[in-house]
Amino acid sequence: MKLDRFLQWFVVKEKRFFPLFRQSAENILKAADLLLLQTKSADPDDRRVLSLRVKECETAGDRITDRIIDELMEAYVTPFDRDDIHALAEGMDSFLDAIRDSSKKFAIYQPKQSKKFVEMAEFIRRDAELILEITGKFDSIRKDIHEVDALCDAIKDIEHMVDDLYESYMSNLLLYEKDTVEIIRKKNIAQALEDVSDMAKTISGIIRSIAVKMG
């Protein structure tokens, strides 16, 4: 009986990572929402305010990541491979940093509005939604392994679509935009948004690796 209680204690303790990853994903989705609003706004002051709010999300995300690492160093038992937990925490932190970088560039460069920026930001928000959905399945990842794999595929598909958007946008930008300064501004922002999508794909790769090991 005492042994059963001892083992149950470890099972409970190992799951302490799951709420932290969910908090991280919820915070990322909040930042992605703000970035989307920023791409839709034409008001310079509004863009700056939204950028500051994204920075607040980044700060909150750093605290969550630090907490995950602290828990990892203290844990005797972990639900996934320790290296995978560390890689996922850092990957989600980098995804949020990339959102912040895009938001900051938007506030600094103040580009003319572009529907393509909005489209890319909508895809980024969808990435964030998918990551949040996946973290909600960590507690039952063995049972939901095929669903998790499908969600990872969806993130990969989004990365391909954002790549296509970026290439099409850059082609038209260089063809039709005559203002050199505006070209530089929009190029840097488009590249930053495309980088966010790349980071989401990296996260999906880490999660897929976890799912394979747990399957």
Confidence band for 80, pLDDT divided at 50, 70 and 90: confident
Cα–Cα–Cα angle for 56, 59, 60, rounded to 5 degrees = 90
Q: Are 28 and 96 in contact (CB under 8 A)?
A: yes
Task: Tell the CATH topology of 2-214.
Answer: Methane Monooxygenase Hydroxylase; Chain G, domain 1 (1.20.58)
pLDDT, tens only, 115-153: 999 999 999 999 999 999 999 999 888 888 999 999 999
Q: How many CA atoms lie within 13 A of 56 on its CB side?
A: 8
**Torsion from C-alpha of 88, 92, 95, 100, nearest 10 degrees:** -150
Rounded to 5 degrees, φ, ψ at 43 are -90, 120
* CA–CA distance, 81 with 74 (Å, rounded to integer): 14
pLDDT, tens only, 158-195: 999 999 999 999 999 989 888 999 999 999 999 999 99
Q: Are 120 and 190 in contact (CB under 8 A)?
A: yes
Q: What is the DSSP string of 85-101?
A: HHHHHHHHHHHHHHHHH
